[in-house]
Structure 1
Amino acid sequence: MNIGAAIKLAIAMAIFGSIGFFTINTGIPAVELVFIRCICATLFLSILWYFTGGHKTEQWNKREVLQTCLCGIFLVLNWVFLFKAFNKMSISITISIYNLAPIIVLILGTIFLKERMTVKAILATVVCFIGSILIVGIDNFQSINSLMNSGFVWALLSAICYALTMLTSKTIHNLSAYSMTYIQTTVGIVMLLPLCDFTVFNGLTVSNWLYILGTGIIHTGFVYYLFFDSIRNLPTMVVSVLTFVDPVVAILLDVLVLSFIPSLLQTFGIILIFGSILYIIFKPTTTIETNPSVEKQASTS
């Protein structure tokens, strides 16, 4: 195994895990934050793409470009919903629900791709649902208003968009990771520009701007570079394992820095969710084959 590549990927995942902490300290709403993130990522990665010479060998395909644009829509919505969820509930709970995406891929694959879902896959799905109820709180499921105010819906929508990004990007083979990201973040700029309220940037502190730029340049540009530079030199199993550094760091930051203390039921719910996801990843129960490198590229959070 390439130890250097493994270290790079571990660093990338650890930085990914701090996205929630950065988000809640930016001082701006989700739409405007994702807009800035798309601008930073587009500039950073297009410059890197150009100077590495990747643009000269790019294999453009009309169908794949259009498919990547669709992926970009799902990716941007994924980010917006995730950041909205961070503003409503704790990072640990949000990340736990967000990482339901592999389970949602199984469900969507069964519905739209006619994939066969076995009893074990159904059981894992049910366990994840029970875990979600436990970490959000049974009381919040008793009315629509309490459920909406909890942030659960935003986190679930984010996970669904994450899963849709996985499914729509799984057949893209010719475009490089850099060109895919460039197209997706450019789509984000076009999508969000009419929706942005630029008055939210008035009165921001230096600290706010540092967190905003950190979210765009570090969490998107720099981390993408580390990620793309490492996954091509690592076996699939290693990539699958190291992607779990992301939620672990997120939950640790929430507990140690933001003083979030999960209840016993919430802790049990988190264990149920990640236990089921690990089971799905390492013991596939359907014919769906998802490339972990594409999954994490699509979730860049």
Structure 2
Amino acid sequence: MRNETRGTVELTLAMVLSGTLGIFVVESGASPFDVVFFRCLFGAAALGAYILARGWFTGHGLTPRKLGLAALGGVFIVFNWVFLFEAYEATSISFATVVYHTQPFFLVLLGAVLFRERITAARCGWLAVAFAGLVLVSGVRPGDTASLEGLGLALAAAVLYALSTVVTKRVTGVRPHLVALVQVLVGIPLLLPFADFGAASRLGAGWVWLAGLGLIHTGVMYVLMYAAYQKLPTAKIAVLAFTYPAVAMIADWAVYGHHIGPVQALGVPLIVLASLRVTLPRRPRARAAAPGPRTNAHAPEAASPAATRSA
């Protein structure tokens, strides 16, 4: 129980940090491509130092195939950040974050398309509920190009995150910290052609926010998350994950005065409820007169990166 309590504190702190990420992005004053490039640069330094201190570079378990999968996942995760940060600029942190949390539904759809996984009638129903919530949250009206653009960017980010999750889950036997390091390292050469060093040199105090994104929101946050994964069941991880959008919405309102309208607010609980129903493992059906111990066919994967859907 003490171990689980510690995991709860660690994951809650990680989600609170994740909820403040949008503030760091906006306050840096940098373009989304520059933000992600320097997040990867500072994040790689933070994660690399932590892994080196723990001695995890030896016996890492990476093979050429696993390294390739981790790198491919990195391509998806890096551009997921770019689209999400673009969505912040197009609309607001609150709006983009809520839409971004449609990731579990894209995971379900990708599983059906790529791996021919069966989608149950119940999951189809929850997908419909989530779509209804998304329509309400979007609040897009004819001629409202900003909201429409922000909606598209946040949905693109969600799809890319789901693709990264599908790929990364196939990297087994490797510490998630090492996988995360590979992914941010991939982002450095990948985004180098898009980085505007001239504009970055004029950021001034913006460098503090960029360094924070790498050291805090990539280094510290990921260490906290992965430590918590080992101590918590998936059900608790899924519930605590919604600390992230809650903090993001509060921070957006407190700092920038942005908030979603009354009609949009009606869609938030629909997305949250549907996401939880899709994410949480289903309970096994009770069998009458079935002797012996039963096993849960839907055992949680505590280290699944999809569980927290953090940015």
TM-score, with normalisation over the residues of structure 2?
0.88
Pairing 1:277–2:283 present: no
Counterpart among 245, 255, 258 of residue 256 in structure 2 = 258
Equivalent position amino acid for 1:236 in 2: T
Question: Which residue number corresponds to residue 230 of structure 2?
Answer: 232
- Cα distance in structure 2, aligned partners of 1:221 and 1:267: 33
Shift of 1:191: 0.4
Alpha-carbon contact 1:170-1:291 (below 8 Å) kept: no
Pairing 1:93–2:95 present: yes
Instruction: Write out aligned runs for 1:106-185 (5 A).
Output: 106-139=108-141, 142=142, 146=145, 150-185=149-184
Question: Which residue number corresponds to residue 13 of structure 1?
Answer: 15
Residues 289 and 199 (structure 1), Cα distance of their counterparts in 2 relative to 1, 3 Å cut: farther
Residues 94 and 236 (structure 1), Cα distance of their counterparts in 2 relative to 1, 3 Å cut: same
Per-residue displacement from partner, 1:117-136 (whole Å, max 9, x unpaired)?
Answer: 12221121122222222222
Per-residue displacement from partner, 1:26-58 (whole Å, max 9, x unpaired)?
Answer: 101111100000011111111111111111121
Counterpart among 68, 76, 82 of residue 74 in structure 1 = 76
* Residue-pair matches, total: 296
Structure 1, gaps ≥5 residues long? none
Alpha-carbon contact 1:58-1:175 (below 8 Å) kept: yes
Alpha-carbon contact 2:132-2:267 (below 8 Å) kept: yes
Counterpart among 63, 66, 70 of residue 64 in structure 1 = 66
Equivalent position amino acid for 2:267 in 1: G
Tell me which moved more, 49-58 or 28-37: 49-58
Residues 299 and 39 (structure 1), Cα distance of their counterparts in 2 relative to 1, 3 Å cut: farther
Shift of 1:75: 0.6
- Cα distance in structure 2, aligned partners of 1:235 and 1:284: 13
Residues 296 and 102 (structure 1), Cα distance of their counterparts in 2 relative to 1, 3 Å cut: closer
- Cα distance in structure 2, aligned partners of 1:5 and 1:168: 26
Question: Which residue number corresponds to residue 294 of structure 1?
Answer: 304
Residues 266 and 290 (structure 1), Cα distance of their counterparts in 2 relative to 1, 3 Å cut: farther
Tell me which moved more, 24-33 or 271-280: 271-280
Shift of 1:293: 3.2
Counterpart among 195, 216, 219 of residue 217 in structure 2 = 219
Structure 2, gaps ≥5 residues long? 284-296
User: Bigger radius of gyration, 1 or 2?
Assistant: 2
Per-residue displacement from partner, 1:107-146 (whole Å, max 9, x unpaired)?
Answer: 111111111112221121122222222222241xx57x82
- Cα distance in structure 1, aligned partners of 2:54 and 2:122: 45
Shift of 1:237: 2.3
Residues 137 and 125 (structure 1), Cα distance of their counterparts in 2 relative to 1, 3 Å cut: same
Alpha-carbon contact 1:69-1:187 (below 8 Å) kept: yes
Shift of 1:278: 1.3
Q: Secondary structure at the match of 1:54?
A: coil
| Runs of at least 4 residues off by over 6 Å | 287-290
Tell me which moved more, 235-244 or 213-222: 235-244
Question: Which residue number corresponds to residue 44 of structure 1?
Answer: 46
Residues 32 and 297 (structure 1), Cα distance of their counterparts in 2 relative to 1, 3 Å cut: farther
Residues 105 and 292 (structure 1), Cα distance of their counterparts in 2 relative to 1, 3 Å cut: farther
RMSD: 2.2
Shift of 1:160: 0.1
